[in-house]
Amino acid sequence: MFSAEIVTLPGHAGTVRSTRKADRSDVTMPGRVGDLGARSLCRISDLSTPGARLKTFQPLVPHSVIMLRLPSQPPRRARIVWADDFTAGCAFERPIDQALLDALVAIYGFTPALPEIGMFRLP
């Protein structure tokens, strides 16, 4: 139950610029979110060194603390900053390293689809 979201933003492809402390990178990455014993799959839809946006199958509560597992990484503590139904933003207790962010974006980075060649004639 995931939907597509299309947003046109100025800036570099794949990087969202705003008044945030760090640039966010668009990704489509699997993850796991949990707390005291309960675990659930989630989809990480953008990622930065200080935090991430999560799409979950269960609602998360703002200001709660969760354990978030990024692919091939041990669980890390994160605080839910905001939540809206099954989407939430979290801040990592300890920011991830830039090298890890770069590696994950290289694997899971979102690249917009280009039209098929046969569909359009370019001048």
Q: pLDDT band for 21, please (50, 70, 90 cuts).
A: low
* Residue-level pLDDT at 117: 56
pTM over 0.75: no
Q: Output the pLDDT for position 43.
A: 92
In a domain, 15, yes or no: no
Local confidence band at 2 (pLDDT 50, 70, 90 cut-offs)? very low
Look up the domain containing 59 and give its range.
24-109
Q: What is the pLDDT of residues 28-87, one digit of tens each?
A: 787 888 765 557 889 998 899 999 999 998 888 999 999 999 999 999 999 999 999 899
Distance, in Å, from the CA atom of 92 to the CA atom of 117, rounded to the nearest integer, reads 42
- pLDDT, residue 40, reads 84
**Residue 73 is assigned to a structural domain of this protein:** yes
For the chain, what percent of residues have pLDDT higher than 90? 46
Has residue 33 been placed in a domain?
Answer: yes
Number of domains the chain contains: 1
For 85, phi then psi, to 5°, come to 55, -110
CA-CA-CA-CA torsion for 99, 101, 107, 109, nearest 10 degrees? -140
Kindly report the CA angle at 83 between 77 and 84, in degrees rounded to 5?
A: 150
Residue 70 resides in a domain? yes
Domain CATH code at residue 30? 2.40.10.220
